[in-house]
Structure 1
């Protein structure tokens, strides 16, 4: 008598499903554009099927933004509780993280303003797409008029009512400021007294990530709807703009990786060529998994064995960096927001772009180190500066490839940061943190 065990059917990865939805929506939209762009059935499909579904998808993301962003940012800052035991290492890590993240976002914004990959689209066509989401568009336009400028913008960062800030996309920077202050308060308070609160915040983060994961399962269908609506209106011009966007993102990531990091490493007394040669394994793992958290064990081993960094430095910097030092994510968010603003003909002022830069830097701290973890933050920033969030449908189809690229930069940045912070630290010093606390499971 023989028995056979059925081989479990392998599920298609989500990013492949998103790519299929992207291609199917693009093909269907282009077919409608070429054959019957003004037909009643096309208008009926967009009005009663694709637009409502894509709107529900965006609303689900916005519904989870506040708990996700607040808990992630507070948890990321609270990780600096280790600063109290590591002293100058922690503060150096925080300072270099802010500096490198700022440089990354500036490179992305300059490249996008210079090359303008989203510019040149017929404003009439762009407005017709926005008109498909009239209710949401009116809310966004209203938020633009209410957005403070100049000195008022700086004063509005400090909220008088955090609940009111949480309920308004235009005041999201104030909510992030409160989250940073709350995290700093946790760092400076007795750990025994804040432990229950940190557990609650971690639990809120985990629940938010679980719900986001459920919502992202709808992404392949939402991508189809997004792309059908976009392609049916913009036609082949959409492909040109999308290719330009990918080129700008990859180019800006390369500039920051090979120029900014090389300069920083050289100033810290390290050889950039030797550094990149020694971290190839971690870079390949990051590119393959598109997850900073999943690459953390490999990065820790590479830092100690290949780069010969002090364990107490590498364990702290890389563990915190997997959440808080995401230069590639911050750069990508800035480029994407400006690209979509150009695509829809929204002229962002220098003040608004400065606000985008601040949110992207903080978003790099508050973004989960998992695949597609930056998408909710991008949708949030778009709404904050008056760009229709439906535009994220443009980038979802190519997001996984770009996610792989920016994760590679994130992990490279973590290792570069560890090397820079290690300057002047004794190599033979034992680890301050035990391995169980310094290495978190991915």
Structure 2
């Protein structure tokens, strides 16, 4: 993505904003300390700018998640015609995404990258937070638990659920709405599908517009944090990046290799060697949607998968099978909880896991598409949403890493779902004949 004058890539601008805010904040922390002008500057300049950016994200998160999730379900087509392919894809997505989130949560709980921060400093940051963030935190304190939480997933009033930031209820309604679109074969339903698709496209346009202001917002948010926490912020960010990358690597090499060998009947070495084009494209663009054409070509020409299966799985997977995004969202929420001293119970962490799995379905497959979801999940469990300013500066690199996991996971899903499936012989498809020599059978 290149935006702004001179065509400077957005991630370069964000890196510049992050570096500028960090250096200025560290300088203020070292030389100005508790000077009165620092508080005035943060209260009336940097803090409002950062909060406007966050409010814009909050404003768009509900329409974006709703439309993305509805379209992800509706694009499946005729549920009855899809049969076992659709159910196998759904089962794979749920199981592997669950494993990804569990790995991420376990890594954060074991290594505690956000722990050890002085509670007094964290409270000072909270005192400077926005009213919007505090309102979301307050609204989550009355959230039901146990069986009441499960029942509450089904909303009695979806408008009220959206107003109360009840993201699970909104996602449940979106899933039901998408299924209804698939099952209703009328002209009105087709027009409604077009409306939802238009809502998604408009939401994406606005999100991309908001993200253009991210470099300035990053500079302001990081300045506030660096001026408050000093060099300790660098140590916490380094630990956070290390935990995320380690968790992604475990899922990439261990879980995917096991799925390929035992469930897909394919050699992991063959798979990774022949999927390099899609992997490099995913890392470069940080966009599952932008990598989809390359992934389709890899599945057809390099892996020799049945075209009808690969096209379905990869197209749906670009939106609905985002293991890396689900893992990253879970790690980030728990990292921020540790940073701000918010003690999440096992039940709350289970809620985070469930929302991350569903959020992987509803998150747009574009750069920075998970940031609104993370902010909203933070509000659900009582973690200050403005804390995402901590990770915005390093998000581009982590976005590239998790997108690589997402796209690779889509290809692994195509291999697993394709096992036992056949395709109509095609004179132009010479790859199928070589599949037996390219795969490793599993007894």
- TM-score normalised to the size of structure 2? 0.93
Counterpart CA distance in 2 for 1:20 and 1:399 is: 13
Counterpart CA distance in 2 for 1:28 and 1:391 is: 19
Counterpart CA distance in 2 for 1:177 and 1:86 is: 22
Counterpart CA distance in 2 for 1:430 and 1:46 is: 65
On the 8 A contact 1:159/1:174 being kept in 2, the answer is yes
The equivalent of 2:47 in structure 1 is: 51
**What does 1:35-434 correspond to in 2, within 5 Å?**
35-133=31-129, 135-169=131-165, 171-190=166-185, 192-268=187-263, 269-429=265-425
On the 8 A contact 1:130/1:137 being kept in 2, the answer is no
Flag the 1:328–1:157 CA change in 2: closer, same or farther, 3 A: same
What secondary structure sits across from 2:76 in the alignment? helix
Counterpart CA distance in 2 for 1:82 and 1:13 is: 40
On the 8 A contact 1:140/1:387 being kept in 2, the answer is no
Deviation at 1:10, TM superposition (A): 3.4
What secondary structure sits across from 2:75 in the alignment? helix
The equivalent of 1:435 in structure 2 is: none
Deviation at 1:89, TM superposition (A): 1.0
Deviation at 1:138, TM superposition (A): 3.5
Q: Give the paired residue count.
A: 423
Flag the 1:42–1:146 CA change in 2: closer, same or farther, 3 A: same
Counterpart CA distance in 2 for 1:191 and 1:401 is: 45
Counterpart CA distance in 2 for 1:228 and 1:104 is: 33
Deviation at 1:82, TM superposition (A): 4.7
- TM-score normalised to the size of structure 1? 0.93
1:32 aligns with 2:2: no
Deviation at 1:172, TM superposition (A): 1.6
Deviation at 1:272, TM superposition (A): 1.1
Deviation at 1:266, TM superposition (A): 1.2
What secondary structure sits across from 1:164 in the alignment? helix
Deviation at 1:349, TM superposition (A): 1.2
Deviation at 1:409, TM superposition (A): 0.4
The one-character-per-residue Cα deviations of 1:207-248 (angstroms, maximum 9, x if unpaired) are 111111111111111101110110011100100000010011
Deviation at 1:143, TM superposition (A): 2.2
The one-character-per-residue Cα deviations of 1:34-87 (angstroms, maximum 9, x if unpaired) are 001200110001111111111111111111111111111111111222544332
Deviation at 1:429, TM superposition (A): 4.6
On the 8 A contact 1:111/1:252 being kept in 2, the answer is yes
On the 8 A contact 2:78/2:183 being kept in 1, the answer is no
On the 8 A contact 2:141/2:382 being kept in 1, the answer is no
The one-character-per-residue Cα deviations of 1:72-111 (angstroms, maximum 9, x if unpaired) are 1111111222544332111211111111111111111111
What CA RMSD, in Å, does the superposition of the two structures yield over aligned residues? Answer: 1.6
The one-character-per-residue Cα deviations of 1:123-167 (angstroms, maximum 9, x if unpaired) are 100000000126345424422421211222111111111110000
Counterpart CA distance in 2 for 1:38 and 1:232 is: 9
Structure 1: segments with no counterpart, 5+ residues: 1-7, 432-442
Counterpart CA distance in 1 for 2:272 and 2:278 is: 10
On the 8 A contact 1:282/1:302 being kept in 2, the answer is yes
Flag the 1:9–1:215 CA change in 2: closer, same or farther, 3 A: closer
Structure 1: which 4+ aligned runs deviate by more than 2 Å?
82-87, 134-138, 427-431
